[in-house]
């Protein structure tokens, strides 16, 4: 038997019905919630630019106090609220972490625990520990990706691109928040709108990439489970 054939046989026997954790449902939930949150980020950027244009018109006499009051209570303002952000980010985060935990268990069955640089507790904990959260989550996801791939070594360009855009977004986010909370002039509102547009682009790309990542790992693990007669 060739090395490739031996490798395939090892995977099929390593993720059976008793060890495989179904990932499809949580993967779909995470992907949908992430997509909804990305759409919300787009609407936030639209709202910030709407506010800038409205204030610009107001200062030039082309908008009234009634226009400003109407903008403060419309749908865009509601979607842009911190409450909406916390609810969607929280729901998407929980779904993603549950999927990631299950994917990690499956990846250990496929590649063995030695294929992972961090212990299983870091699958969730790595996202909350300051400083470590700059690269530990990337290592956790990369190891799951590599262990789940049917052929090794598996190119991890998708994981690297996702993490790069995600980290950039996390760097820009506090800057944009400070700008949003210190608007005292038209130029401040414009600066916030520009920062918001940049943040939206970063989150949009990161969101698309992580959805592709979730789908690919889920597909790989489901195929391995099916080959061993496991449950998806």
Q: Which of 121, 136, 109 is nearest to 23 (CA)?
A: 109
| 31 inside domain | yes
Domain around 67 = 3-227
Structure tokens at 196: 């918001």
Q: What is the pLDDT along the chain (232 residues), one digit of tens a residue?
A: 333 333 333 444 455 555 789 999 999 999 999 999 999 999 999 999 999 999 999 999 998 999 988 888 888 888 888 888 899 999 999 999 999 999 999 999 998 889 999 999 999 999 999 999 999 999 999 999 999 999 878 899 999 999 999 999 999 999 999 999 888 899 999 999 999 999 999 999 999 999 999 999 999 999 999 887 755 5
- Other CB atoms within 10 Å distance of the CB of residue 153: 7
Q: Which of 213, 212, 215, 208 is nearest to 38 (CA)?
A: 208
**pTM above the 0.85 mark?**
yes
DSSP 185: S
In the chain, what's the furthest Cα-to-Cα distance? 81
- For the chain, how many structural domains are there in total? 1
| 15 inside domain | yes
- Other CB atoms within 10 Å distance of the CB of residue 152: 10
| 232 inside domain | no
């Amino acid at each position: 038997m060739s090395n490739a054939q031996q490798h395939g046989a090892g995977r099929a026997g390593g993720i059976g019905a008793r060890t495989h954790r179904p990932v499809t449902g949580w993967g779909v939930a995470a992907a949908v919630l992430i997509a909804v949150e990305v759409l919300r980020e787009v609407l936030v950027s639209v709202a910030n630019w709407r506010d800038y244009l409205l204030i610009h018109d107001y200062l030039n006499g082309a908008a009234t106090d009634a226009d400003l009051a109407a903008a403060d209570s419309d749908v865009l303002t509601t979607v842009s609220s911190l409450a909406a952000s916390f609810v969607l980010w929280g729901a998407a985060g929980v779904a993603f972490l549950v999927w990631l935990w299950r994917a990690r268990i499956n990846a250990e069955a496929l590649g063995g625990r030695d294929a992972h640089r961090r212990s299983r507790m870091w699958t969730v904990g790595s996202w909350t520990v300051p400083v470590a959260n700059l690269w530990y989550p990337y290592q956790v996801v990369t190891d799951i990706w590599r262990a789940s791939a049917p052929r090794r070594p598996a190119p991890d360009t998708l994981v690297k691109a996702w993490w790069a855009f995600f980290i950039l977004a996390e760097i820009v986010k506090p800057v944009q928040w400070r700008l949003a909370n210190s608007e005292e002039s038209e130029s401040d509102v414009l600066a916030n709108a520009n920062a918001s547009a940049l943040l939206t682009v970063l989150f949009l790309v990161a969101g698309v990439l992580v959805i592709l990542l979730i789908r690919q790992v889920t597909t790989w693990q489901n195929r391995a489970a099916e080959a061993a007669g496991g449950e998806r």
